Amino acid sequence: MAAPFNRLPRAPSAGRAGDQADGLRKLFAGRRRALVPLAANPHGASSARVLDRLAVLLAAQGRQVLVVDAASTSPLAHELAGVDLSACVLNVAPRLSYLAARGLPLDYVDTRGSAGAFIDAVQAAAPQADVLLLHADGIDLARLLKQRAVRPVLLGADHPESIKHAYANAKLLARRCELMTFDLLLVAGRQSPRAAAIAQSLGGCLDSFLGAMLRNSALLDIEAAPEAQAQADLIRLLAAQLALDEPAQGAEAAAAWPGSGPPRHSPAARPAAAPISRPAFR
């Protein structure tokens, strides 16, 4: 990466950035965009490295990715964010940009408790982005995702407290937003003996206590080399997330990913496939 995600951007020049953003908004008007919401987890999920790996993998597939980092453990939003949000979007690599957004969703809460206008504002601020990786605490996601047809990705680690927190995020989103399907991204070693059992147990709890479903699960080993991350389960999870926002092109979206196939419906994790090389940036 050209710059780590946990670094704040330098003070931007608002005038020229605003003119450029206006031109980009006109150029990309009407373009389909995928929203991938990631429920933050402070218990061992290593969010900065997870965001880095996911964003790089998506960008390597030709996507224009914007990471919106709004969790309570994320960097504070830039002081200009309330004046010119587009000026605070930091380009960190080809096809990849980053917005430090801790605290920003609360500025967009309306009288009904929805902060959905924040997502609209971010999309207007970075019109070139066709994938938004939205990382936020469950309580903020519950405000952001009202009336949105998304499948939140629960972040978790190979630790009981982390999985309890992932379940609590699902419970909050199910009750407040009536979102009833979830994906699980488990930060653990590729050889973890508990990974399949964790996914199966969490999926069972979602079904039994919430009437919800764990649709896909995947491992992410942040200690492994980046090129080893594109295993089949992770590719399948991301392809299914992108297909959610492209109903007419769902099959094409999945087929564009090497090793992807039909979304998996079982909550149990399958054994990791042999790693494939991550394509170079286009």
Q: What is the DSSP letter of 242?
A: H
- CB atoms closer than 10 angstroms to residue 89: 26
pTM of the model: 0.79
pLDDT value at position 276? 24
pLDDT value at position 271? 33
Domain ranges of the chain: 17-255
Q: Please write down the long-range contacts of 173-177, taking CB distance under 8 Å and 24 or more positions apart.
A: 173/39, 173/138, 173/141, 173/142, 173/145, 174/210, 174/211, 174/212, 176/142, 176/146, 177/142, 177/145, 177/146, 177/148
Topology classification of domain 17-255: Rossmann fold (3.40.50)
pLDDT in tens, 45-97: 778 999 999 999 999 999 999 999 999 999 999 999 999 999 999 999 999 99
Using 70 as the pLDDT threshold, list the residues of the chain that sit under it. Answer: 1-31, 226-230, 245-282
Q: Please write down the long-range contacts of 246-251, taking CB distance under 8 Å and 24 or more positions apart.
A: 246/32, 246/34
- Output the six-digit token pair for 230: 């594109």
Q: Residue with structure tokens 């996507």?
A: 63
Strand partners, 216: 183
